[in-house]
């Protein structure tokens, strides 16, 4: 799965890098958890894509993300939780649909990808598939650039250890409400 996703992302980047309709984006984002699997996250990403029409864009990208994720829970002596900082590299495919062509342009966007945990902790419990739908608005700043604001939900595969009798590995998905500011050029 990792190889397929990596190859698809590289294919989008290669297809669109030389296109006259290529759009590059850089963005920064931060978010808060809406579940018990994580506390917060923040990061940055770069993407490149091509306009298949005035309203439909397809591309891919790579980024860096930090997340404070649940590492283990224990009920042996008392109930306790431990969170661990995870350093993630997300690789993703991106689909964007612009709802209008002129002025302030509302859009719907969806990223689908895989994150690689590059932290020093040997337990790579926040590595895996992620899904990030978002809605936002693009504001044109010049003929070749624009700024956008978006809000979305990042859903990331995770697992953690539950220490008790017996010791269990619990699979789940972290859900973070993410706010993004970015620039297209």
Band of pLDDT at residue 113, cut at 50, 70 and 90: very high
On whether the CB atoms of residues 125 and 82 are closer than 8 A, the answer is no
Instruction: Tell me the backbone φ, ψ of residue 26, rounded to 5 degrees.
Output: -125, 145
Taking only the tens place, the pLDDT of each residue in 64-75 is 999 998 877 877
Instruction: Tell me the backbone φ, ψ of residue 3, rounded to 5 degrees.
Output: -65, -40
Query: Shortest CA distance to 126 belongs to which of 177, 69, 83, 47?
Result: 69
Band of pLDDT at residue 105, cut at 50, 70 and 90: very high
Selected residue with higher pLDDT from 149 and 172:
149
pTM for the whole thing? Answer: 0.84
The secondary structure of residue 46, as a DSSP letter, is: E
Q: Which helix (H) or strand (E) holds 9?
A: helix 2-17
List the structure tokens of 56. 């439909």
State yes or no: cis peptide before 45, omega within 30 of 0: no
* Integer CA distances (angstroms), 172 to 7, 30, 69, 179, in order: 26, 21, 12, 22
| Exposed / middle / buried, residue 68 (Cβ in 10 Å: 0-12, 13-18, 19+) | middle
Taking only the tens place, the pLDDT of each residue in 79-93 is 678 888 999 999 999
């Amino acid at each position: 799965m990792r190889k397929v996703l990596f190859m698809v992302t590289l294919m989008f980047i290669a297809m669109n890098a030389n296109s006259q309709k290529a759009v590059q984006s850089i963005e920064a984002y931060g978010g808060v958890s809406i579940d018990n699997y994580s506390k917060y996250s923040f990061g940055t990403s770069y993407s490149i894509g091509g306009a298949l029409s005035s309203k439909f864009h397809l591309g891919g990208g790579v980024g860096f993300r930090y997340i404070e994720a649940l590492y283990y829970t224990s009920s042996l002596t008392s109930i306790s939780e431990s969170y661990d900082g995870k350093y993630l590299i997300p690789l993703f495919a991106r689909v964007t649909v612009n709802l209008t062509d002129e002025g302030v342009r509302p859009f719907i966007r969806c990223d689908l990808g895989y994150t690689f945990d590059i932290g020093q902790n040997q337990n790579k419990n926040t590595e895996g598939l992620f899904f990030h739908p978002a809605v936002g608005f693009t504001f044109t700043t010049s003929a070749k650039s624009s700024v956008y604001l978006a809000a979305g939900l990042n859903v990331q595969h995770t697992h953690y250890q539950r220490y008790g009798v017996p010791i269990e590995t619990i699979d789940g998905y972290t859900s973070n409400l993410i706010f993004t500011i970015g620039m297209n050029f």
